[in-house]
Amino acid sequence: MKKYVYCLIFSLFTFLPLSAQLKINFGGDSPLRKLQMAEMAITNFYVDSVNEQKLTEDAIRGMLEKLDPHSTYTDAKETKAMNEPLQGDFEGIGVQFNMIGDTLVVIQPVVNGPSEKVGILAGDRIVTVNDSVIAGVKMPRIDIMKRLRGKKGSKVKLGIMRRGVKGMLTFVVTRAKIPVHTLNAAYMIRPGIGYVRLESFGMKTYDEFMTAVDSLKKKGMKSLILDLQDNGGGYLQSAVQIANEFLHDNDMIVYTEGRRVARQNYKAIGNGRLQNVKVYVLVNEFSASAAEIVTGAIQDNDRGTVIGRRTFGKGLVQRPFDFPDGSMIRLTIAHYYTPSGRCIQKPYKKGDLKDYEMDLENRLKHGELTNPDSIHFSDSLKYYTLHKHRVVYGGGGIMPDYFVPLDTMKFTRFHRQLAAKNIIIDAYLKYADANRKALKAQYKSFDVFNKSYSVPQSLIDTIIAEGKKQKVELKDAAELKASLPYLRTQLKALVARDLWDMNEYFRVWNEQSEIVNKAVDLAVSGSK
């Protein structure tokens, strides 16, 4: 235990700035010594044997649970899994896949990835990995992924079943670095109006974003819809880099400050390539952290228009403290503040994680997601934007300039229950798997697909029949009529994703989004 404590102290020192003072009490009344003695007593004298490693981890988790909702501990495996999506790549075979039943089906190999290079095709079923059967044995998805991933340069033998080919095919794939993209979509949504959707802020998000906007500018983009709906955040630096592209020299982007952390300002440096592009930022109740930093910077500097619903309200700054075994504490050390001085973090009670997790459900019950009149701000939370002195409010999250209510009637009870039981996804996967080759032959481009494809009635009938089997039944003909438009749109978007990518999925799906359409209307009227 003593060696463990010394290792922890060493790790803490390596991550603290020189100006910080680390107070450690090793005296007779030391809390650290008390904790050490308790662990030693349990390990040596408890009636049953104990796992000393787990005991220590439980103690760490217990301490953090009494703090704020975002101070966390992750073991080595959890830390690696958490960091991969943000770091921009992982090492593996390079396929997008879905599980149909208990069989892994390749949706599409990554372009120029290791699987494509050896000839693996969309629709292939991976049934063995290094001669171990993974199909038909109800193996957990995470265990399948562990077998497929591995160090760059290592080889893995895959046994594959392919439609129209007798017997099992064998491929040896050399694993490589596989990029993880945080940009879901980028296209011209209307003449002169570009659209970019970011799902998170990772190490490579800024580069992806700039590549996309440069391409859109060549296509005549004068206004940009930046979609940050459902964006849970990520790296602060990526958010600062993207906000900088819109702002003028010395404009404040965000600042941080904490009890033991001096205020740190992040300002624009005046070299942004989007300073003359009109921007409309889309947010909802799941937009958080880095997404709120970008949104707050654009709103407080009167640089653009924010559309949607009040954001999540995650404005606590975490610093990682690594342990020698690869585990990590992410400890809250400061708050984020928007340029006008608003604290992004919504209120919370220390140690009351349940109340914090119920916040969005409570917002829905109180009508905050469906009616702007249900959102009340006290005058003490009133702030002003920096140039036009418009009123904005603190108290957690970013309130948009244009509120778009959540339409709880849009998806019927029947549609919601079908989705909850995975009936829609399962039916789509089987349909796409059986028809992928024919669909690709028929629709050579997305534009042709988008104009002429319609969801076959047979697929709708299959979904309704499966729903009936699982006791999800229509109430009446009116419910069917109300369900069909959005069910067809969802299925068409899923087929588009299967044949192309997420970009095409959103090109279909966005046409029925009230938030996106509100932004399009504002951008069209603003360009006149």
Q: Quick one: which of 356, 355, 359, 375 has its CA closest to 367?
A: 375
Q: Residue 436 is which amino acid?
A: R
User: Around Cβ 495, how many Cβ atoms within 10 Å?
Assistant: 24
The helix/strand/coil state of 385 is: coil
d(CA 111, CA 130): 24
d(CA 371, CA 364): 10
Q: Look up 314 and say whether it is catalytic.
A: yes
Residue with tokens 């608003």: 342
Instruction: Please list, residue by residue across 191-205, b when 16 or more beta carbons sit within 10 angstroms of its beta carbon and e when fewer do.
Output: eebbbbbbbbbbbbb
What is the helix (H) or strand (E) element at residue 237, kind and residue range? Answer: helix 236-244
Q: Look up 80 and say whether it is catalytic.
A: no
What is the helix (H) or strand (E) element at residue 170, kind and residue range? Answer: strand 169-174
Query: Pairing relation of β-strands 252-257 and 183-190?
Result: unpaired
Contact 336, 293 (CB under 8 A): yes
Contacts of 289 (CB under 8 A, 6+ apart): 232, 233, 234, 312, 314, 315, 336
Which position among 68, 251, 300, 501 bears the catalytic label? 300
Q: Quick one: which of 150, 151, 149, 173 has its CA closest to 160?
A: 173
Which position among 204, 267, 278, 314 bears the catalytic label? 314
The helix/strand/coil state of 194 is: strand
Q: Look up 452 and say whether it is catalytic.
A: no
Residue with tokens 């359409």: 517
d(CA 480, CA 424): 15
Q: Residue 170 is which amino acid?
A: T
d(CA 407, CA 313): 22
Which position among 223, 289, 327, 340 bears the catalytic label? 289
Contacts of 23 (CB under 8 A, 6+ apart): none
d(CA 76, CA 272): 39
Q: Quick one: which of 286, 195, 210 has its CA closest to 243?
A: 210
Check the CA dihedral 472-478-482-487 and report its sign: positive
**DSSP assignment of 441-486:** HH-SSHHHHHHH----HHHHHHHHHHHHHTT---S-HHHHHHHHHH
The catalytic residues are: 289, 300, 314
